[in-house]
Amino acid sequence: MEQTFGTWSVRGGLRALATAVYERCLARRVEFVFDAAVVRIVEKDGRAAGVELADGTTADADFVVAGVAPTVLSRLTSGVNIRSEGDVPARTGMPSRLTVLLALSGARPEGTPHRTVLHSADRQDELDRLFGERPGLPASPTVTVLRPDDPELTPDGAHEAVTLTVTVPAHLEVSPADVERVISRAEAAIPGLRERLLWHEARTPADIAEATGAEGGAVPAPALAAAGGSLLHPANSTRLPGLFAVGGLVATPAAACPTRACRARWSPD
Ligand SMILES: Cc1cc2nc3c(=O)[nH]c(=O)nc-3n(C[C@H](O)[C@H](O)[C@H](O)COP(=O)(O)OP(=O)(O)OC[C@H]3O[C@@H](n4cnc5c(N)ncnc54)[C@H](O)[C@@H]3O)c2cc1C
């Protein structure tokens, strides 16, 4: 899509996309049950027959389609590796993201670029840290500065909402000093940033792990029709008839992408 139509962003932020999908599903009579953690996939006569929820209730089903991380799915099936033969082992050295959301006073200047990438001054150091060979955030991380021209992101035209993203190793424990370093790097793209900064909020790999169940907050790698098919996701069937695995976390090309050179193709941005 990007090659054909160019890059795009969602007006109102990515949450607006989730809301649009949610409303469309309601119109198609999909029922949602929120705050209902699944603790077990119920098996009956050798096939998936429903899910057990944290409150002890069960929901019967003809098929169970699980959109969760492989490690979560294993827990739900009593630790059994439920994926089919030839499945890839758990991934190591996979990237996550550190996102820093900035609330700025003052309007977004006319003609501001939507996206600016501030490249690392030391690419080798960044790659070594990303793929687990050296711990911690690089001294000069690559920072993507997003400044969308979207009035729905601010209370009025006298403010600006800016998002900073950094590709970091999964499991990275982010300190306040790390966040400050990322903000300082962004000053190169946003003159007067410190004077304009009202508040900021950081979303770390730990936050991603908590929200999604992805180990260490690892971001699912894209499925790509390249490299002889080695970057594609495996089939979504499992060893348990009636249970299917879907979504970005289904089993990212973990094994499919075992070498550093391979992983470097899709990360950092
Ligand atoms: C910071 C960040 C930036 C990203 N940037 C991009 C990008 O620019 N482009 C791109 O294409 N992709 C990007 N991605 C990846 C993309 O967001 C994911 O691939 C996609 O959201 C995966 O969707 P999903 O539905 O498979 O899983 P998720 O969105 O992770 O949904 C899984 C859901 O399962 C729920 N869950 C887990 N365990 C249970 C349980 N036991 N019971 C009930 N519910 C449970 C979780 O709460 C969660 O809601 C990014 C991801 C992150 C974190």
Bridge-partner residues for 40, per DSSP? 52
Q: Is the CB of 13 under 6 A from ligand 1?
A: no
Instruction: Give the C-alpha separation, 254 to 269, whole Å.
Output: 18
Bridge-partner residues for 167, per DSSP? 97
Residue 167, pLDDT above cutoff 50 = yes
Distance 195 CA to ligand 1 centre (A): 35
pTM equals 0.86
Residue ranges and CATH numbers for the domains of the chain are 2-90+219-259 (3.50.50.60), 95-212 (3.30.70)
Q: Is the CB of 252 under 6 A from ligand 1?
A: no
Q: Is the CB of 247 under 6 A from ligand 1?
A: yes
How much of the chain, in percent, has pLDDT values that exceed 90? Answer: 63
Instruction: Give the C-alpha separation, 191 to 188, whole Å.
Output: 7
Q: In 3D, which of 69, 80, 77 has the Cα closest to residue 215?
A: 69
Instruction: Give the C-alpha separation, 246 to 206, whole Å.
Output: 23
Q: In 3D, which of 216, 217, 221 has the Cα closest to residue 256?
A: 221
Q: What is the Cα 122 distance to its own chain's centre?
A: 25
Taking only the tens place, the pLDDT of each residue in 170-206 is: 999 999 999 999 999 999 999 999 999 999 999 999 9
Residue 256, pLDDT above cutoff 50 = no
Contact 76, 39 (CB under 8 A): yes
Contact 176, 201 (CB under 8 A): no
Taking only the tens place, the pLDDT of each residue in 93-107 is: 678 999 999 999 999
